[in-house]
Structure 1
């Protein structure tokens, strides 16, 4: 629960490299997310190359933190064989992204989830940069690194948002 309550978007990073062991733990957690019909539509592009990280920041208006981050993960959805006519893949992908954020926090890392889907210009830029096949949809780009900032933890629980039995 600590990771859930303390996770915040981190936009400043130390230059320290992230180990392959940590990357594998993060992606393993992502792949344990629930998915409709156990479809598991996810694929992940891992970016460590400084030139590519900077290029993402050049076309993603909210991706400037990638200029400092040592790592980016691009969660992508495979659209080629969806069981439910493409109705639930975005929920599946969102669950795996949340797992990435929480596992990263548990490892002492900071993250920032930047949306890509459904903005065509961002999807096209990402697909071109990492040579995605046509049936693969980039959903987000997640900056990952050792935090060089601390973000205030604020209470978010709001009982006014809870409706029992009806609105």
Structure 2
């Protein structure tokens, strides 16, 4: 019963996003929630085509719909579209080279004054953004900055973060340049019922 409630909640969330997009931002076709989860993949090559403002807004709304401890919402999101900043981060971040081809990125950050576990809430927000990107026909990939001081310093410098705001990750986003297939990550040996 608990599983069916969770699935129902996910489906309701995706339907709400789809309905809101039709009413406010235009019409975008989205996938069923479970279909979307299983279709999500890391995309690292993008077409030279900008992401529409309406879709960017939906990505951010999806991020902010994530669960958060004590409803603190410690997240902050920085949308980066300036070519110089994207190229500079691509050159300096070891696992974000694809930023040189991405038309935009969302940097997911956390306010350390609001929560000591900001990175957990921001991880949930990041997953929501990745799922929303998949649902909207976009490609995206999670590139970590936290807990690496050198990577966080690069992002802080490029986007001007104050000391109490730390970056969790940079998400390059764009339209996929080549077909990508999701990985089947199901592994029944990782499932334990009752006891380990």
TM-score interval, normalised by the smaller of the two chains? over 0.9
User: C-alpha separation between the residues in 1 aligned to 2:183 and 2:109?
Assistant: 31
Encode CA deviations 1:107-155: one digit per residue, 9 max, x unaligned: 1000011000000000111101111011000110000000012222332
TM-score, normalization by structure 2: 0.81
User: C-alpha separation between the residues in 2 aligned to 1:81 and 1:25?
Assistant: 24
Do residues 118 (structure 1) and 147 (structure 2) align? yes
> Aligned residue for 1:154?
183
Encode CA deviations 1:75-133: one digit per residue, 9 max, x unaligned: 00011232xxx1x3221111000000001111100001100000000011110111101
User: C-alpha separation between the residues in 1 aligned to 2:61 and 2:42?
Assistant: 21
How many residue pairs match? The answer is 163
**C-alpha RMSD over aligned residues:** 0.9
Higher relative contact order (CA 8 A, sep 6+): 1
**Consecutive aligned runs of 4 or more in structure 1 exceeding 3 Å deviation:** none
Unmatched runs of 5 consecutive residues or more in structure 2: 1-33
Q: Which of 100, 114, 126 matches 1:67?
A: 100
User: C-alpha separation between the residues in 1 aligned to 2:153 and 2:184?
Assistant: 37
User: C-alpha separation between the residues in 1 aligned to 2:66 and 2:96?
Assistant: 25
User: C-alpha separation between the residues in 2 aligned to 1:154 and 1:81?
Assistant: 36
> Aligned residue for 2:118?
89
The aligned runs of 1:34-49 (5 Å cut-off) are 34-49=67-82
Q: Which of 13, 27, 30 matches 2:63?
A: 30
Q: Which of 10, 15, 19 matches 2:52?
A: 19
TM-score, normalization by structure 1: 0.95
